[in-house]
Amino acid sequence: MERPAACWEGQDRYGNEILPSLTIILKTSGCRHDRCRMCSYRHERYPGGEELVIDQLRWVQEHHDLPKAVMVKVYTSGSFFDPCEVPAGAARYAAELFTGKLVVAETRPEYVETGLLEEFISRIDTGVFKTPLTVAIGLETVTDIIREKSIDKGFSWDDFLHATKKARTAGAGVKAYLLQKPLFLTETEANDDMERSIRALEGIADAVSMNPCTVQKNTELEYYWQRGAYRPPYLWSVLSVLLSSPYPVTCDPVGGGRSRGPHNCGECDRGIVEAIRSYSLTADKSLLSEVFEKECACREEWEFVLDHERSWSLPLTR
Ligand code: SF4
Ligand SMILES: [Zn+2]
């Protein structure tokens, strides 16, 4: 039996509840877009097609307490609803395995097809949840020029909106992932972009999760980072964006406190990362303001960066 790339049990917030969840990252043939500047998942490619995916789902069934999980979050290193990655038989197997659960499945917008989602929902739906399936899309930002130039994501805000309409027609919910501080932005530009994105998604996405950018291996982002041309966001920035949000945004600062992840000075990082994780689960903003108001010498450095960092004048054309 093949192990998935990763699989773990945890907890997730859904509406006002905290639910036991299972997160599964499946090995597949890989992402067909294969271009984003900060992404190392795109190098993950495995032959084996439908059988490979089903085999990993069997492994999950044997090695994890599936009945305990109310929510299942399923990712590939690409798109769950790309039929090349997860062929129809494997998607059917997954849906039957996850019957009666809240399923969150990540996909690029071009693979959101109403018919496909309707079929998936008809298999998982037992009438317990109003919206048993949520489609999660890595929108990254609402600003097309940043998504294009800083990320090379290959789709537009309009494409995203079109996909959300199709998902809603099928009866699915929509979750958006945002990327805090992609390449080529100053700290202030990045924060402004996240604040703008969070506001623009109100009423469009049911849930928003913000990922502070990390420097993954073998990426274009790493190339710039190694040459001193990129710094991941300060944890102060993560706090300030979350604090300014008009609604609860979840955030898991992966690599928090490390040089490749969102970080401050090294002294104050741990407490802030813990506060952000607790806030994600409880939506209690006082957890954020408590650490945001604490004194640390690096706060002045962050404020200086916000005021003085200037963007490079990158040409828009060749
Ligand atoms: S970020 Fe997503 S869409 Fe972009 S290359 Fe990576 S897996 Fe593909
Ligand atoms: Zn500090």
What is the 32 CA–ligand 1 centroid distance (Å)?
8
**Alpha-carbon distance 168 to 45, whole Å?**
31
Taking a C-beta distance cutoff of 8 angstroms, is the pair 248, 208 a contact?
no
Q: Which atom of ligand 1 is nearest to the CA of 31?
A: 8
- What are the backbone dihedrals phi and psi of residue 102, each rounded to the nearest 5 degrees, phi first? -90, 120
Single pTM value for the model: 0.96
Q: Which one-letter amino acid corresponds to residue 137?
A: I
Q: Quick one: which of 165, 164, 195, 162 has its CA closest to 178?
A: 195
The count of residues in the chain is 318
pLDDT value at residue 97: 97
pLDDT of 242 > 90? The answer is yes
Mean per-residue pLDDT for 172-184? 98
Confidence band (pLDDT; 50, 70, 90) for 316?
A: low
**Alpha-carbon distance 208 to 283, whole Å?**
12
pLDDT value at residue 68: 97
Residue-range domain boundaries for the chain:
6-180
Does ligand 1 lie within 6 Å of residue 179's CB atom? Answer: no
pLDDT of 117 > 80? The answer is yes
- Order across the sheet with 173-180: list the strands: 6-14, 17-26, 71-76, 102-106, 133-140, 173-180, 207-212
Q: Which CATH architecture has domain 6-180?
A: Alpha-Beta Barrel (3.20)
What is the 126 CA–ligand 1 centroid distance (Å)?
32
Return the SS3 of 127.
Answer: coil
Mean per-residue pLDDT for 259-263? 98
